[in-house]
Amino acid sequence: MKLFLQHGTDVIANPKNNKNGGPLRVLTVIGTRPEAIKLAPVIQRLGLEDGVQSYVCLTGQHRDIVNPILKLFGLASDFDLRVMRKGQDLTDITQRILVGMRKLFSTHAFDLVLVHGDTTSGFAAALSAFYARIPVAHIEAGLRTGSLDAPWPEEGNRSLIGRLAKLHFSPTEQARQNLLREGVPDQAIFVTGNTVVDALYQIRARIDQHRSLKVRLARRYPFLQDDCRMILVTGHRRENFGDGLKQICDAIKRLARRDDVQVVYPVHPNPLVRDPVHRLLADTPNVFLVEPLDYPDFVYLMDRCYFVLTDSGGVQEEAPCMGRPVLVMREKTERPEGLRAGVTRLVGTDPELIVRESERLLSSRRVYQAMCKAPTLYGSGNASELIVGSIVKHRGRVKLAAEQLVS
C-alpha cells in the first residue's frame, strides 16, 4: 500500500529519540465526516499548544466529504491512507487501515494516537497503534447501549477501542460510569462534554455573525416555505439497511401528505441508502432529497427545522443544543441522557410509531414545547479545551507510557 503524504513532515522514526523534554507528538486519525466535525475543534486546539506537534491522518473512508470539513475549520491533513475501494466491506476497510497505519508507524514516530467514537476507522487505527505500542486516547469514550448488535458495528467498535485506550475522554458522567463498570481506572477517565457542541457553536456563531453567509444559505433552499413546518431527516445506519430504510421511507411518505409539512432529507452517498431512498421518495410531493450537506448548511437547516427524524448518533446531541426535538429511528441509543431529559424519543423504524410521534409534535404545542428545552447535556462548548488541557497536563504520563510500551 502506498502512503500519501499531504505535505512535508519532520516526525522522526525512532520513538526512543524523543525523551520527556521534546514536544509531544500527537496523531489524530479521521475516517468519516462526523469524526472530522467532532475532531476539528480538538485539532485546532492542539495547534495552539507550544509543546505539542499535531498531525492528522485520513484513512480515506469518507475522503470526498471529509476534506471540505477540514477546510471549513482551517485544517489540512498530513497523511492519507486512501483505503476506499468500490464494493469493499468492513473487513476490507479494517485490513487496509491496519496495513496503512503499520506503514505509517514504521516510518514516523508518535507519542499518542487520538481516535474518536465508534467507527471502523477509529477501531482499526486504535488496534494498529496498540500493535505498534503507541498509547491511544479515545474521544467520546464510554457510550454504550449494552448490546453489541445495536447499533452494529458501532457498539462493538467503541467497546473494543475502550479496551485498547490509555486515556478516555467521556462526554457525560453516564459514559464515565459505563467505563468504570468495565474496569477502566478512574484516573484514566476525563469528563469533558462532547466536542460536537464546540463545532456546532463555532459554526452557528459564524452564521450569526456574517449576514451574507446566512443569505447565501437561505438561497440554496428556495423551496422552503415559511408557512410550512420543515422536518429534517437523516437516515443511514447499517442496522437500518433494507427493510428498516423502506419502513422509514414509508413513514416519510405518510407525513408528507400534510400540506403544512415539508421534509428535507440529505441522502447519504452509500448506494445501500441512496438507491432505495431515491426509488421510494424521489417523486413524493413535499419531500426534498438533497445531496450530503456541508456542515454550515446542516446547522442552518437544523436551526430552520421544526423537529428532526434521525438514526444518527451525533444529531441526538446537536439538535437538542439548538432546541429542536429529536425522534430517534433506532431501538436503542447510547445517548440515554436525551431520553431522560425528554428532548429525544426512541421510535424505531415502525412506520406507525414514527408517524404517531411525529403527529403528536405537529398537533400539540404542549408536547412540542416540552421537547424544545435546550439543556447543556453534552457540555458548554469547551470540550476540546478540556481534552487538550488534560493531554498537556498529563504529557509526562503519556510519554512514560509510550517509552514503557516500546522498551
Catalytic residues: 118, 140, 154, 236, 238, 268
CA 249, CA 255: separation in Å to the nearest integer? 10
CA 57, CA 64: separation in Å to the nearest integer? 15
CA 79, CA 11: separation in Å to the nearest integer? 12
Phi, psi of 4 (to 5 degrees): -95, 120
Residue type, 180: L
The separation between the first and the last C-alpha atoms of the chain, rounded to the nearest angstrom, is 28
Phi, psi of 89 (to 5 degrees): -110, -175
CA 153, CA 161: separation in Å to the nearest integer? 12
CB atoms within 10 A of CB 383: 28
Is the peptide bond between 153 and the residue preceding it cis, with omega within 30 degrees of 0?
A: yes
3-state secondary structure 244-290: HHHHHHHHHHHHCCCCCEEEEEECCCCHHHHHHHHHHHCCCCCEEEE
Q: Which residue has the cell 441512496?
A: 274
Which element (helix H / strand E) includes 406?
A: helix 395-406
CA 170, CA 387: separation in Å to the nearest integer? 10
Which element (helix H / strand E) includes 29?
A: strand 24-30
CA 323, CA 331: separation in Å to the nearest integer? 23
> Running DSSP on this structure, what letter comes out for residue 404?
H
